[in-house]
């Protein structure tokens, strides 16, 4: 196999934006190892993932000893484990043999490595000092690591949900306007910035507006950029070196706790500082996501005003107390025993023509067809709420079984009763066996 070009491998395998620890301390080593590993067919991405896990567990073993030499060796092994963890993805992108299972395996092994290393590092310090605060620190490290990745996945899912709703509305409007199906498309500002990371957002939006037939650019981060105009300059300065603006992510959090802390001999202080910085950056991400949801709401109000509830935050009038109760003086309503109910003097008087046409009398409601018609009308008048828009939503089971509604069964044919086996029948004088 011919020697691979290092520059070509870096361009193909390195991400356009990555954590500063990865860009500065991992990629220079990882890309060179990828050029070496790619020559051997038996080195697969999944095997590299397993190797990263075993090296990480080895670092946990040294952390558990607690002395400085063991902590230094454990920190070195953890860094090697993280380099291998980066190599598996780069090798998969280079050779095109990545898989969905490999991505899942990489994610799960990362969480296992953090769990064992956190328990071993803090446990080793607890055995040496007998200070319970190290046990609390272990719980904090595991909790923040899980919170960081769970929050990232949930925000990603919500962003995809907002994008899908906007795409559905925009494509429907384009179809109504007579745009051909092959010409229908939705353009998001975040996609344009991802393709042109060093470009200005307003410049991309203006360039898209000048193109004939170019659809409107949807910007779900407009309010954030308007509130913090300096962020764009800060982002561009970092992206020139492939460093993403999120300076304290889960990667830096792990590296400071499992590498910097053991090397400088201040595990507890480093853990506390890293936890505070990670929590602060997570709050910034949540705030940015909240502003993005406000941009989404305004966009939907502009694109599809009919789909946005105008009474958001208030209770529907038909759910007010007493609406479904029998009250004295009610005439001409169901449940009051009156002959007919025409809908006169009712807050929902627009239903009166339908009611007058069907004339729901007391006798009619006791018939099967009349009962079904009334149930159908009620379902149309008070429809069930729409299912949750979250694609991963599953409704919780009701804690108590619903009681069957009382219905008039006088119209049902009477079924003759049969005596229980072994019971003496009064008419025949015989026993059933």
CB 48 within 8 A of CB 84: yes
Virtual torsion, Cα 65, 66, 67, 73, nearest 10 deg: 70
Burial zone of 211 (CB within 10 Å; 0-12 exposed, 13-18 middle, 19+ buried)? exposed
* CA contacts within 13 A on the Cβ side of 202: 5
**Residue of 140, 307, 305, 296 lying closest to 224 (CA atoms):** 296
Which contiguous run of DSSP H or E holds residue 151?
Answer: helix 133-176
Residue 259 has pLDDT above 90, yes or no: yes
Residue with tokens 């000092």: 129
Q: 304 is written with which tokens?
A: 């599809």
Q: What is the DSSP letter of 23?
A: I
Query: 133-176 vs 267-303: helix axis angle to the nearest 10?
Result: 20
pLDDT tens-place string over residues 75-90: 999 999 999 999 999 9
**Which distant-in-sequence residues (6+ apart) come within 8 Å of 107 by Cβ?**
149
**Per-residue tokens: 430:** 């015989």
pLDDT in tens, 275-289: 999 999 999 999 999
* pLDDT tens per residue, range 142-171: 999 998 888 988 999 999 999 999 999 888
Is residue 245 exposed (0-12), middle (13-18) or buried (19+ Cβ within 10 Å)? middle
Q: Give, in degrees to the nearest 5, the angle at Cα 399 between 395 and 402.
A: 95
pLDDT band of residue 428 (cuts 50, 70, 90) is very low
pLDDT at 66: 93
CA distance 425 to 418: 9
Q: Which two tokens stand for residue 263?
A: 């090397």
Mean pLDDT estimate for the chain: 79
pLDDT score, position 16: 84
Q: Report how far apart, in Å, the C-alpha atoms of 303 and of each of 96, 166, 176, 250, 268 are.
A: 40, 8, 13, 37, 52
- Burial pattern 171-181, b for ≥16 Cβ within 10 A else e, equals beebeeeeeee
Least confident of 89-103, 198-212, 363-377: 363-377
- Compute the Cα dihedral for 175, 180, 182, 183 and give only its sign: negative
The beta-strand segments (E) located in 323-402 are none
H or E element in which residue 188 lies: strand 187-188
230 versus 430: which is more confidently predicted?
A: 230
How many other C-beta atoms lie within 10 A of the C-beta of residue 344? Answer: 11
């Amino acid at each position: 196999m011919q020697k691979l070009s290092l520059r070509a491998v870096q361009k193909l395998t390195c991400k356009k934006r990555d954590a500063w620890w990865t860009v500065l301390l991992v990629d220079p080593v990882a890309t060179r190892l990828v050029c070496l590993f790619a020559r051997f067919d038996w080195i697969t991405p999944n095997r590299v993932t397993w190797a990263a896990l075993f090296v990480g567990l080895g670092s946990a073993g040294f952390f558990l000893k607690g002395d400085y030499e063991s902590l230094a060796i454990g920190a070195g092994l953890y860094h090697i484990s993280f380099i291998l963890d980066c190599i598996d993805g780069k090798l998969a992108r280079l050779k095109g043999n990545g898989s969905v299972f490999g991505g899942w395996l990489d994610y799960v092994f990362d969480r296992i490595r953090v769990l064992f290393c956190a328990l071993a590092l803090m446990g080793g310090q607890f055995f040496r000092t007998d200070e319970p605060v190290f046990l609390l620190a272990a719980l904090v490290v595991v909790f923040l690591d899980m919170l960081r990745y769970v929050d990232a996945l949930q925000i990603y899912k919500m962003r995809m949900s907002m994008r899908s709703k906007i795409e559905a509305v925009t494509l429907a409007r384009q179809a109504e306007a007579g745009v051909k199906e092959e010409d229908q498309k939705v353009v998001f500002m975040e996609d344009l910035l991802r393709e042109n990371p060093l470009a200005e957002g307003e410049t991309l939006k203006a360039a898209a507006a000048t193109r004939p037939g170019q659809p409107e650019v949807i910007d779900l981060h407009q309010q954030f950029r308007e509130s913090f105009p300096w962020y764009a300059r800060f982002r561009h300065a970092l992206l020139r070196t492939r460093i993403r603006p999120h300076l304290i992510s889960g990667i830096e959090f792990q590296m400071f706790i499992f590498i910097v802390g053991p090397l400088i001999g201040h595990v507890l202080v480093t853990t506390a500082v890293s936890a505070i910085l990670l929590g602060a950056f997570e709050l910034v991400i949540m705030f940015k996501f909240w502003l993005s949801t406000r941009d989404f709401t305004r966009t939907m109000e502009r694109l599809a005003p009919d789909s946005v509830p105008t009474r958001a935050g208030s209770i529907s009038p038909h759910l007010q107390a007493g609406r479904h109760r029998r009250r004295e003086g009610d005439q001409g309503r169901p449940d009051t025993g009156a002959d007919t109910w025409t809908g006169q003097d009712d807050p929902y008087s627009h239903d009166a023509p339908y009611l007058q046409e069907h004339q729901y009398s007391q006798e009619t409601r006791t018939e099967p067809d009349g009962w079904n018609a009334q149930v159908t009308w009620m379902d149309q008048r008070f429809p069930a709420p729409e299912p949750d828009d979250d694609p991963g939503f599953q409704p919780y089971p009701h804690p108590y079984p619903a009681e069957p509604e009382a219905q008039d069964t006088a119209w049902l044919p009477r079924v003759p009763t049969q005596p229980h086996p072994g019971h003496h029948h009064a008419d025949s004088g015989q026993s059933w066996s």
